Amino acid sequence: LIGAGCGLAVAAGLARLSPPPGAPPRRAAPRPAADALPPGVGRDLLERLPLGLLLLDESSRVMFQNAAALEMIERRVIDMPAAAALRAPALTEAVSAAYEHDRASDLDVTLLRGKDRVLHATVRPLPQDRTPSGDQRTPTVLVMLEDRTRAAKAEALRRDFVANASHELKTPLASITGFIETLQGHAKNDPEATERFLAIMARQAARMKRLVEDLLSLNRIEINEHVRPRHPVDLAALVWEISAGLTPQVAAEGARIAVELPREGLNVLGERDELAQVFVNLLDNAVKYAGDAGPIRVHLADPADARPGMVGVTVADSGPGIAREHLPRLTERFYRVDVARSRERGGTGLGLAIVKHILSRHRGDLTVTSAPGQGARFTVWFPALKDARAGAEGAAVAG
C-alpha cells in the first residue's frame, strides 16, 4: 500500500525533476494537465517520501537521493555509478535489465552496512518524453526502496517460535507414546513397571498442559497488548495474597518467601489477573533456581534505582546467579539459562516472555541485575497512582 500510494507522488514529482524539452521524444508518455504541480513542490515531495528513492541518469549514475534512501543506504551516493552505490548484485542486475531491456523488477535484497537491512526494491525504467539539452541529465531509471527489516525479523521470530513450540510439545509427546507402546507390550503384566510408567506419563502430560496454557496465555496477552488496562489495582495487597497462596508449594521446595512491602497502598492501573501472573511467574522462577539457598525477598525497588512517577517492586533471590551474557535474552520465548534444570522443574521457557508482554501492556518495564554467585534481582516497574480514586478517575477520562 505504501509503495502504490507513493508511486503517484513519485510520478508527479518527476515532472519537476525532468530537464527542459530538447530533441523529439524517444518514448511518449503524455500526462494530463491535472498532474501538474506548483513550482518547487516536486523535489520537496520526493524528499519527504517514506520510501527510499534513487533516480539514475542515462549513464546509470545517481542523480537524486532522498532522505529515506540516505538513511537506508547509510551514505550519500549522488554521482556514483549504480553498482557502487547499491552494492547488491541482484539489485545491480535489475538496474541493468531496466536499461538494456526496458524491464521492470521487484525484489528483496539485504544491504550489509553498519546494520543489516532487508529492503524491498522496485526498479522501473522511466518514460522518456524529454531528452537532455547540452549537459543536462535525464532521469532514466527509478529505484524505490522499502525497509522491511522489522517485518523480516518478525517473520524470523515467528518461524523460531513455531519450531521451538513444536519441539517442546514433541518431546513429552514422544515420551508418552513410547511408554504406551511399552505398556502394551512386555510390561503390560508388570504392575510395578506399569505404576512407574504411568507416573512418568502423568508428569509429561502435565508438562504439555502447562506449555499449552502458557502458549494460550501469551497469545491472549499479545492480542490485548495495545489496550491499556483501566482499573486500579493495589500491588502490595496482591503480592501478599499471592505469597500466602504459594506458601505450601514453596515450602515443599524448601524455600521461603519474605514479603517486605506495606500491606496496601501501591496503586497502579492494571489487569489484576495479569499482574498476578507477573508475580507468580517471578516467584516461581526464583523458587526453581534458588531453592533453599535463602529467603526470596519481595520489596520495594532500591531508592537508588527509583524512577519518578513509577512504582518498582523487586523479587530477589540468593541463588547461583545469572551470567551477564544471558541477561539480554531472558525474556525471549523458550530461552533457558539451564535447560536441564528448567525442564526438570517443569518450566516451559515462556514465563519471563509472558512477564515482558504483560509489562508492555501496562506501560511498565523489567530490569534484571545478577552475577554468578550473587543471586538475581528482578524489578518490575509500573506507572504509579496516588490512590485508587485517582486511578478510577484517570480511567474514566481515558475512556
Q: List domains and CATH numbers for the chain.
A: 2-147 (3.30.450.20), 149-223 (1.10.287.130), 227-398 (3.30.565.10)
Q: Tell me, what's the pLDDT at 8? A: 47
Mean per-residue pLDDT, 269-273: 93
pLDDT of residue 7: 52
Write down the pLDDT at residue 316: 94
Higher per-residue pLDDT: 294 or 259: 259
At 395, the pLDDT band (50, 70, 90 cuts) reads: very low
**Which residues, in sequence order, are bridge partners of residue 368?**
378
Number of Cβ within a 10 Å radius of residue 60? 18
- Residue 34's pLDDT band, with cuts at 50, 70 and 90, is very low
pLDDT of residue 144: 94
pLDDT at 131: 53
Checking if the pLDDT of 323 tops 80, the result is yes
Name the residue among 83, 44, 50, 35 with its Cα closest to residue 64.
44
Helix (H) / strand (E) containing 367? strand 365-370
Q: Determine which of 96-105, 166-175, 364-373 has the lowest per-residue pLDDT on average.
A: 166-175
Lowest mean pLDDT among 13-27, 190-204, 223-237: 13-27
| C-alpha cell belonging to residue 79 | 554521482
Closest CA to 333 of 316, 314, 352: 352
Most confident of 29-43, 55-69, 336-350: 55-69
Res 390 pLDDT > 60: no
Q: Which residue has the cell 519474605?
A: 258
DSSP per residue, 286-351: HHHHHTTSS-EEEEEPPGGG--TTEEEEEEEE-SS---GGGGGGTTSTT--SSHHHHHHTT--S-H
N- to C-terminal Cα separation, the chain: 31
